[in-house]
Structure 1
């Protein structure tokens, strides 16, 4: 017979082994789940859906009837060889200045075409590009401003050959992030206005995890953190893209271009704290307009008249090109970032 003392010694050992095996199994599942989720996250982030152009004829009609101008199909070749497509409208009564409008992720130029009206009515020429890997533009992956900021530089040079005046940038969401990053490396811009921008790629991913999980930022910055880190490693290894370089906060800190930041208090997609951080990083040349009750990219829906007036006044009051010191891509590690909870 097995003595009681022997049973006491066997049971704890067996129990401990089961506990240890369970912990190892749980950790293995967690790591495997994080890696699989990371690959999925990286792929859907870099390979976005191409939303087709559907309203060209309608926009062409508006350009002709309201502004007596043709809707021109134009293109440039990006530094990576991608063919980038855009529409260009120069009103019959022109003030010589131009505005480039940038759309959000998985959208195309039609998503911001409606903003073109307020600029065209005030004499600005309007350029509506499809970002790389969006709409009708070529490009294998979207890089959230890392490569696109150089595309903006090319578009700005293209515009200067056709309109002698200032070049301005306007964008929303991802387009806002691209405009901010471009402002640090594009010479001779006069001003920028952006709505619902994010401060850094890491921070906006944290917000997405927080929103979709319903568990708050603590979940994104702890339990879900390995998924993001594995996704970043995967993106660098497979596509040679470091998504942490998508850092508008560092860009605005290095830029000298006057920048109007617009953000709604009801924005759950990219919370207001991002624009607060951006304003603090670019405090010498930026202004933040907080729109009460506005959702993501929805400031115009709260008060269109005020929305248009503020942007147009911002552009009108900044009519001199700015010479930036930075001409190359910004390293996010070299610029300040304000972390706001």
Structure 2
């Protein structure tokens, strides 16, 4: 092959590689602005059978609630939006974070029911690059952890340090709050982490295996994409490392049949946590379905945890 052909082939290969990086990056990390204020929150399409009717009732009840629109600007300049739901005006405030490509009321309708029953006010932000919040890059907790700290500051500014805060999240939302767990103010009384993963690398490698992509290649592509297109280091956050320095009590929850985020990831987070901790596992529950599968056990665990930490 002549020199010109070699150079042409290399150029084509480079262009193809760059194209692959761009496509993989924007398919994994970028999020189009497809949620508007006049569009109802999406439902979970992975709930079926006997759980579908129960989920439908929870989702409809959550969507019928009247929340106050709130907004803040993140430390890196992104406008973040959310809703504040007042159920008592007293006691602790829960700050709940939804999961990857999720929505607060889609992912948190079970927790919203619990909050209403307990008379606990709830702030539910749209995570960056989701819903009404700005940004186009989802970073698996690397930057979202700082958004969590900014929302905590919002609550401090609004209610003062005398009012306790409970952090809560599901899936990526759980990992978001856990990654921030080593920098929490003293009025954060506890954390409820439902099916959180350990690190961005761990979950990307796991998903790569599920789609039959070599896990090393999958993470290498994702890490390079994040660096090139988002300026993000996917290795810059770890839930276990933060939990070593955590002082707030933590309730870990995970479905034993979760194939998307294996329950062993919550076990690893639990083992790393040096703060007071509890762990509820739910037999038969797939990803983020523990409340649907065993509402009684879930409710009991949350109520007992809050009675110990937030009263």
TM-score (norm 1): 0.73
Report the secondary structure of 2:306's partner residue: helix
- Residue in structure 2 matched with residue 178 of structure 1 by the alignment: 176
Instruction: Provide the rounded CA distance (Å) in 2 between the counterparts of 1:103 and 1:94.
Output: 23
Which one of 238, 256, 260 corresponds to residue 265 of structure 1? 256
Report the secondary structure of 1:183's partner residue: coil
Q: Give the direction of change, closer, same or farther, for the CA distance of 1:35–1:287 in structure 2 (3 Å limit).
A: farther
CA RMSD, 1 decimal = 2.6
Q: How many residues align?
A: 276
- Residue in structure 1 matched with residue 95 of structure 2 by the alignment: 100
Contact between 1:98 and 1:167, CA under 8 Å: does it hold in 2? yes
How far the C-alpha of 1:271 sits from its partner, in A, is 0.8
Q: Give the direction of change, closer, same or farther, for the CA distance of 1:80–1:61 in structure 2 (3 Å limit).
A: closer
Contact between 1:176 and 1:196, CA under 8 Å: does it hold in 2? yes
Q: 4+ residue runs of structure 1 moved beyond 6 angstroms?
A: 30-35, 58-61
Does 2:288 match 1:290? no
The aligned runs of 1:182-221 (5 Å cut-off) are 182-188=180-186, 189-213=188-212
Offset from partner CA, 1:217-274 (integer Å, 9 cap, x none):
xxx6xx4413422431232133220011232121212211111111111101111110
Contact between 1:55 and 1:110, CA under 8 Å: does it hold in 2? no
Instruction: Provide the rounded CA distance (Å) in 2 between the counterparts of 1:98 and 1:305.
Output: 22
- Residue in structure 1 matched with residue 241 of structure 2 by the alignment: 250
How far the C-alpha of 1:95 sits from its partner, in A, is 3.4
Which one of 26, 30, 40 corresponds to residue 55 of structure 1? 40
Q: Which has the larger radius of gyration?
A: 1
Instruction: Provide the rounded CA distance (Å) in 1 between the counterparts of 2:14 and 2:171.
Output: 32
Report the secondary structure of 1:81's partner residue: coil
Which one of 68, 71, 76 corresponds to residue 67 of structure 2? 71
Structure 1: segments with no counterpart, 5+ residues: 1-29, 64-69, 214-219, 321-341
Q: Give the direction of change, closer, same or farther, for the CA distance of 1:44–1:35 in structure 2 (3 Å limit).
A: same
TM-score (norm 2): 0.80
Structure 2: segments with no counterpart, 5+ residues: 1-12, 42-59
Instruction: Provide the rounded CA distance (Å) in 2 between the counterparts of 1:150 and 1:311.
Output: 25
Contact between 2:257 and 2:285, CA under 8 Å: does it hold in 1? yes
Report the secondary structure of 1:243's partner residue: coil
Offset from partner CA, 1:262-316 (integer Å, 9 cap, x none):
1111101111110111111114433221111110001011221221121121122
